[in-house]
């Protein structure tokens, strides 16, 4: 269990440092900025690389919503949920601290600004409403979990799950960065909101509630779609191994 929690900490750390770090440090870098496309690929690559690196140890969740969705689907022990979530949030916050220390070392540093945090209304990159943000986060997290649950199924081709999951997260960011800056991950949202300037912390509730709803719905849908497999594996509800 300690090794699994360590893997979740490291995986979430890398997701926040790689994904949010690319947004903060490189998205609009003078003349060579990577833009939304680069940030989207950065998030996808963090999950892909760490799923291969430590997914066999912990299941490679790196996201409280993923842990919830897997638990609802019967693919993860409910008793492990709280420790996993704590490890994921801790990993995200640790990465945000490192990113803050890097950013604050810039010669003309004048504050972190939005710090790649998630928001709606005036804090949405495109000015989208709370309702738009809520719906977006539910739908995007739903499909993220459907990809995870399907790609890691025993009946799916072995060894390819991290690729599908990483590309799925990339696509999700390509769709939804303009709406909420893309969360689908409460740990990622929490880590950035703690340091961002502005009202992001007051909007954090949405980026816990909506992703968890989407994940739970996906867990229920996947349990129905993969009913035969779930029944066969009910005696060993371990996290999926990538």
Q: What pLDDT, in 10s, does the model give residues 155-167?
A: 887 789 999 999 9
Please answer whether residues 26 and 75 qualify as being in contact, where contact means their C-beta atoms are separated by less than 8 angstroms: no
> 242 falls in which pLDDT band (50, 70, 90)?
very low
**What global pTM score does this model have?**
0.91
For the chain, count helices (H), then strands (E).
10, 0
As assigned by CATH, the class of the 2-104+112-232 domain is mainly alpha
The residue that leads in pLDDT, 230 or 176, is: 176
Average pLDDT value for residue range 11-22:
97
Residue 208 has pLDDT above 70, yes or no: yes
Q: Considering the chain, what is the average pLDDT of its residues? A: 92
Average pLDDT value for residue range 130-150:
97
The whole-angstrom separation of Cα 175 and Cα 206 is: 18
pLDDT at 146 (0 to 100): 95
The residue that leads in pLDDT, 181 or 28, is: 181
pLDDT at 158 (0 to 100): 79
> 232 falls in which pLDDT band (50, 70, 90)?
very low
- Please name the residues in contact with 211: beta carbons below 8 A apart, sequence gap of 6 or more: 64, 65, 137, 138, 141, 183, 184, 185, 186
Please answer whether residues 140 and 182 qualify as being in contact, where contact means their C-beta atoms are separated by less than 8 angstroms: yes
The whole-angstrom separation of Cα 172 and Cα 81 is: 24
> 229 falls in which pLDDT band (50, 70, 90)?
low
Q: Kindly report which listed range (17-31, 96-110, 176-190) carries the lowest average pLDDT score.
A: 17-31
> 238 falls in which pLDDT band (50, 70, 90)?
very low
User: Any idea where the domains of the chain sit in the sequence?
Assistant: 2-104+112-232
The whole-angstrom separation of Cα 206 and Cα 190 is: 11
pLDDT at 223 (0 to 100): 85
The whole-angstrom separation of Cα 74 and Cα 89 is: 23
The residue that leads in pLDDT, 239 or 225, is: 225
Radius of gyration for the chain, computed over Cα atoms and rounded to the nearest angstrom: 17
pLDDT at 237 (0 to 100): 40
């Amino acid at each position: 269990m300690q090794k699994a929690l360590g893997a979740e900490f490291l995986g979430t750390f890398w997701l926040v440092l790689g994904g949010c770090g690319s947004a903060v440090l490189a998205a609009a870098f003078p003349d060579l900025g990577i833009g939304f496309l680069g940030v989207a690929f950065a998030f996808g690559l963090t999950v892909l690389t760490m799923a291969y690196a430590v997914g066999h140890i912990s299941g490679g969740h790196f996201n409280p919503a993923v842990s919830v969705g897997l638990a609802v689907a019967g693919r993860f022990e409910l008793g492990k949920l709280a420790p996993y979530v704590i490890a994921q949030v801790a990993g995200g916050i640790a990465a945000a601290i490192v990113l803050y220390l890097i950013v604050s070392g810039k010669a003309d540093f004048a504050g972190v600004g939005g710090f790649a945090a998630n928001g709606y209304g005036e804090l949405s990159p495109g000015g989208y409403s709370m309702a738009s943000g809520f719906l977006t986060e539910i739908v995007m997290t739903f499909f993220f979990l459907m990809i995870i649950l399907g790609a890691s199924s025993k009946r799916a081709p072995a060894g390819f799950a991290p690729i599908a999951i990483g590309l799925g997260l990339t696509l999700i960011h390509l769709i939804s960065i303009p709406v909420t800056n893309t969360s689908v991950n409460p740990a990622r949202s929490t880590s950035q909101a703690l340091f961002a300037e502005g009202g992001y912390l007051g909007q954090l509730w949405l980026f816990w509630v909506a992703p968890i709803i989407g994940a739970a719905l996906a867990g229920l849908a996947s349990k129905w779609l993969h009913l035969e497999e779930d029944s066969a594996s009910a005696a060993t509800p371990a996290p999926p191994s990538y």
